[in-house]
Amino acid sequence: MKFLIVFLISLVLLPIVSASDIDINFSKTSYSSGESAWAQVTSNVNLSRDLTSSDFIFTQSSSIPITKALTKVSKNTYFFYFEIPKLTDGDYKIELKSIDYVKNNVLVRNNFTSAVKIENKNQTIYFWPAVLFSEYLDQENPVFADILLKNIGWEKRRFMVVSSNDKLVNSITPFDFTLIGQSVTWVDFRTDIEDYTPGFKTAKIMISTDGGENYEYPIIMKKKWYAGEFSWNQVAPAETPNITTNNSEIPANNTITNITNSTDNTTYVYPSDSLKFIDPAYKVVEQTLKYNGEKVGVDWTLKNFAEQPLHNITALTTSDLGEIVKFELENKSILAPGEEIGIKVVVYPNMSKQEKYTGRLEVSATENTTDYIEFHIKFVNETVKTENNTLPTINTSTPVVNKTQEKQEEKSNSTALIIVLFVIMIIGIVALIFYKKSKPRKERLDEYLQNIKK
């Protein structure tokens, strides 16, 4: 009886205890139709799996279709963003349903919600992607990224863009411009990594209009292989620029022409194979290398096969493959239809800790399209011949004929052909001899028969 009472009390208290297990914090208290909304999603528990954008449902009395994306920046931190569809004013919510996680050594399933208030206004802007996240190796060349920005209102507005971290974001083009109603432009960012310290480099971009609207746009840079957690605590907010309403002060060369071909992809459904490796065309890489041998590297290519842009292309390695396989993905926050990007993959034998490694290099976009290359790597003590001592091409499991085997097969085939031709020639010679010998005998026999008849 006592056990039953404790069990019932635990069921009653479970939603209360789990209320803060996953936090969904939106950047604004209210939004308008057509705006981009983003929220930081923080898990305070051990999730049984990674969250995906399909876990997030926008609802009121029923589910409402939205264009959405999810970016994972650390083990327990995600950024979820979506476009607010055309809606009437009211209270809506984002739901996370049936999320499994471990808490106090117990597997728990729970739902989570966050309120979204819609208050339609005359002047709003839309930008995509709503969060910029990129990984870097060490101190690298500048990283260039861009976002699509649209004035979804009907009146001409002036925009200004400033950064909270001038050392990280040292170039914004354009930073002071105008957009007439229903027009779009691209805003380009240039970021520089100045030190080798592990962790996150962050900035908040403030986008303001002369209509009194302010938008925070997060930029997050993470050093690859850093396993620490993300936090905004050390990030200073961007100052809101002071914008006058006198349009005569706007530089004439920054006026943007109206673009009628909008990249709004609300109704477009991305095929699951929108992002694919085109080089290589195979799926499995098999390689035998010498312990502490030279590094082995290749350059591969990814392509967007969708009819709409792909956003936030990322890559990762599974299992323990990351111990020896490192990669550098060309940084590009938006991949246009038909556009290609490169990824450099390098295997480091001197970092191996075991004889065999099996795993995948997986690439994905926020539109839930993925592709992969599978690796099977074995290390041996004897010398392994390679074609290049610095970055030899990785051997693959594609149907490529072994050169030695090919020569042996060619030699064997040639020998067999010679034997067949020799046998045919012998048979021909023998047949010719018999023919010549048989013809005179036939003539003498005819002559003998004629003499008998006489």
Same-domain status, 232 and 299: no
- Identify the CATH number of the domain in which residue 147 sits: 2.60.40.10
DSSP category for residue 397: -
Same-domain status, 392 and 448: no
If one counts the domains in the chain, the total is 4
pLDDT tens per residue across span 198-245: 778 888 888 888 888 888 889 888 877 777 788 765 555 556 665 544
Could you tell me if residue 395 is inside a domain?
Answer: yes
Residue at a domain's end among 262, 284, 305: 262
The DSSP result for 298-327, as a single string, is EEEEEEE-SSS-EE--EEEE-TTGGGTEEE
CA distances from 388 to 295, 298, 347, 393, 400 (A): 10, 12, 14, 8, 19
pLDDT tens per residue across span 237-286: 556 665 544 333 333 333 222 323 334 434 567 887 889 888 766 688 88
For residue 175, the enclosing domain spans 123-262
- Looking at the DSSP bridge assignments, the partners of residue 57 are 95
- Nearest partner of 57 among 118, 111, 108, 110, judged by Cα: 111
The residue to which tokens 């649209």 are assigned: 150
Same-domain status, 153 and 249: yes
Same-domain status, 115 and 47: yes
Question: Helix and strand tally (H, E) in the chain?
Answer: 2, 28
Same-domain status, 80 and 195: no
- Distance between CA atoms of 91 and 364, rounded to whole angstroms? 33
Which sign does the torsion angle of CA 378, 342, 339, 315 carry? positive
- Distance between CA atoms of 442 and 437, rounded to whole angstroms? 9
Quote the tokens at residue 176.
């002071």
454 residues of the chain, pLDDT tens digit each: 444 444 444 444 343 334 479 999 998 889 999 899 999 999 999 899 999 999 999 999 899 999 889 999 988 999 999 999 999 999 999 999 999 998 888 889 999 999 999 998 876 788 888 888 887 765 555 677 788 888 888 888 899 999 888 778 878 888 888 988 888 888 888 877 766 567 788 888 888 888 888 888 898 888 777 777 887 655 555 566 655 443 333 333 332 223 233 344 345 678 878 898 887 666 888 888 888 778 888 888 999 988 888 888 888 888 788 888 888 888 777 888 888 888 888 888 888 888 888 888 888 888 778 888 888 888 888 655 444 333 444 444 433 333 444 444 555 556 667 787 777 888 878 777 766 665 554 455 455 555 555 5
Same-domain status, 138 and 219: yes
Quote the tokens at residue 163.
């950064």
Angle (nearest 5°) at CA 379 between 401 and 392: 55
Same-domain status, 236 and 281: no
Same-domain status, 134 and 79: no
